[in-house]
Every structure is written in structure tokens, then in C-alpha cells.
Amino acid sequence: MLVGRLIGWLLIAAALVALGADALASLDAGDLRLDPLGAVWFKIDVASLNLAQAVIQRYVSPWLWDPAIQWLLAQPAAAVAAVPGAALLWFFRAPASRRPRRRPSAFE
């Protein structure tokens, strides 16, 4: 459970970093600019992107790369990180029995 929350927070942090980079690029360009995941991955490491494509097409399934993964790589990087990060945080949230109880104040 702790590992799931940690990965969720790391994905949310990556989404915030990507959103910050998109905001700076938008200010520089003068219009809204959201970098897709594929472009960010290409900037970071071209060889691993090419290797992932080759491995998936050769050993997993060729149809998986073209419609599914190419669509994912065309989505904004911040959204691709934020959605699974939020899902992990929600799924691995603390059980209700471990959450602190809210005490009513005197003014309620």
C-alpha cells in the first residue's frame, strides 16, 4: 500500500514538472503549448523510445504499438502522468479506520 501511494505521488510530481515546463514554453511561445509524451520521451532519450517500439512490435504485438501506444504518446505528458498518479493515490488511500476522526467544534 505504501509503494502504491509513493508511485502515485511520484507520478503527480512528474505531472507538475511537465505542467511547469509546458507553462514556461507557453509563455515563451505566446500561446498554449502542451508537449505530448512522445516528444518529451524523445527529448530525454531517443534510443530507449526506439528500443521500446522495436521490442513491443517484435515480441509483444505489432497492433499494440500502432493504435494504443501511439495514441498514448500523442497525449499531453502532464495528463498521462497525472491520471494514473491520481488513480493510484485514490486506490491505495488509507482505510477509513486509520483516518483521523474529525471532532466537531464547539461552534457546530
Residue 102 domain flag: no
pTM of the model: 0.79
Assess whether 25 and 54 both reside in one domain. no
pLDDT reported for residue 103 = 73
Kindly report, residue by residue over 92-104, the tens digit of the pLDDT. 987 766 666 677 7
Q: Which domain holds residue 51?
A: 36-75
Claim to verify: residue 54 and residue 41 sit in the same structural domain: yes
DSSP line for 53-91: HHHIIIII-HHIIIIIIHHHHTSBHHHHHHHHHHHHHHH
Whether the CB-CB separation of 78 and 18 falls below 8 Å is answered with yes
Cα–Cα distance measured from residue 22 to residue 40, given in angstroms and rounded to the nearest whole number: 11
Q: What is the pLDDT of residues 59-79, one digit of tens each?
A: 999 899 988 999 999 999 999
Asked if residue 108 is part of any domain, the answer here is no
Q: Determine, yes or no, domain membership for 101.
A: no
- Exposed, middle or buried, 28 (CB in 10 Å: 0-12/13-18/19+)? exposed
27: in domain = yes
The count of domains in the chain is 2
Residue 56 lies in a domain: yes
Amino acid sitting at position 106: A
